[in-house]
Amino acid sequence: MTLTKISYTRPSITELEVSYATEAVRTGWGPKCYDYIYRFEGAFREFTSTQYAAATSSCTGALHLGLAALGIGAGDEVIIADVNWIASVAPVVHLGATPVFVDILPDTWCLDPARVEAAITPRTKAVIAVHLYGNVCDLDRLADICRRHNLILIEDAAEAIGSQWRGKQVGSVGRFATFSFHGTKTVTTGEGGMLVTNDQALHSMVQALNNHGRLPGQNKQFFPEVVGYKYRLSNVQAAIGCAQMERRAELIAGKRRVFQFYAEALKGLRHIALNPEPPGTVNGYWMPSAVFSKESGVTQEQMLKAFVAAGIDARVFFCPLSSLPMFKAKPENRVSYDLPMRAINLPSYSEMTEADQLRVVGVLKQLHP
């Protein structure tokens, strides 16, 4: 019997999303062309307990706008964890600033605060804390470091919808935070992003830059005062986002259910570690991941081959950014260069069945020494 292939992720779309998108297509024009966008931004302000939100066409665009609004540019350094997707660092490079890659912690796979502090120079302007795969950065330590060194803390929460720090959704600790609604994310608009902040001046500049540089209060038509960008989210996409936000508790709970099944099924296998949930945090578990111990001898390549043979579409763990050809290698970031080579992302989506999860678990148990 041929088994059905298991996808690593898929969105949860219901008639609610279809009905909102249909309404936006039928009526969301002219004076109503921003209705769902404003509604989506309002839902996200409430969700993150922040004062301002700006919907964008991608999380990358949101991060680009926020950094540009802060004046980050040539001569500046921005510290970021070495293990991340390129989208988190691309805006830094686009603005002419220099990314400084530091090592990750072996347990949370996020920024190592001690390495952050050691990497600070007179040119350092900001620290981007990426909540990798839903795992939460140590925001208390990072905020303290930034405060003492007069640096800007930014949260890249693209992968962290549903993750909490000290009882609040991540995204309200840094000067601004960004979120992703890519088709793989827990809450999706197909493509899309959001910038949230409590800084009114920053928000105003972000809105201006996102409108081709037309500053707030400018009454002249088609009269930009600075060179801006165009990262606007469409009304139809925002309509889908509104429906998803109404269902967010269900979607987040689905992700946590999938992770808990993995955790229970793999309990007792001493060579496998999964996403952590340290005290004071809640993990949204966007992408459950398995990390084999060094002692196991199990490699990412072996895992990929085993999953492909079993008809399972698993994802590789992000490699060190500094190992990419456009950057200078930093093998001294030992955890970053070691951990991804024995790790893999596991299939996860809100409606994943236990039978499919058991197939995934079976492969991991087969590999376990």
In this structure, how many other beta carbons lie within 10 angstroms of the beta carbon of residue 140? Answer: 13
Q: What is the pLDDT of residue 314?
A: 84
Strand ranges across the sheet with 315-316: 272-273, 289-292, 343-345, 315-316
Low-confidence ranges of the chain (pLDDT < 70): 1-2
Nearest Cα to Cα of residue 36 among 180, 246, 178: 246
Q: What is the pLDDT of residue 185?
A: 97
What is the C-alpha separation between 90 and 88, in angstroms, rounded?
6
Cβ atoms of 176 and 195 within 8 Å: the answer is yes
Q: What is the pLDDT of residue 243?
A: 98
Single-letter amino acid code for the residue at 48 = T
Q: What is the pLDDT of residue 349?
A: 93
- Read off the pLDDT of residues 189-248 as tens digits, 9 standing for 90 and up: 999 999 999 999 999 999 999 999 998 888 888 999 999 999 999 999 999 999 999 999
Sketch out the chain's domains with CATH numbers. Answer: 15-246 (3.40.640.10), 248-367 (3.90.1150.10)
Q: What is the pLDDT of residue 350?
A: 86
Cβ atoms of 362 and 314 within 8 Å: the answer is no
Q: What is the pLDDT of residue 256?
A: 97
Q: Please give the torsion angle defined by the CA atoms of residues 62, 68, 73 and 78, in that order, rounded to the nearest 10 degrees.
A: -40
What is the C-alpha separation between 13 and 8, in angstroms, rounded?
16
What is the C-alpha separation between 172 and 169, in angstroms, rounded?
7
Estimate to the nearest angstrom the gap between the alpha carbon of 64 and the chain centroid: 14
Global confidence as pTM: 0.96
- Read off the pLDDT of residues 115-157 as tens digits, 9 standing for 90 and up: 999 999 999 999 999 999 999 999 999 999 999 999 999 999 9
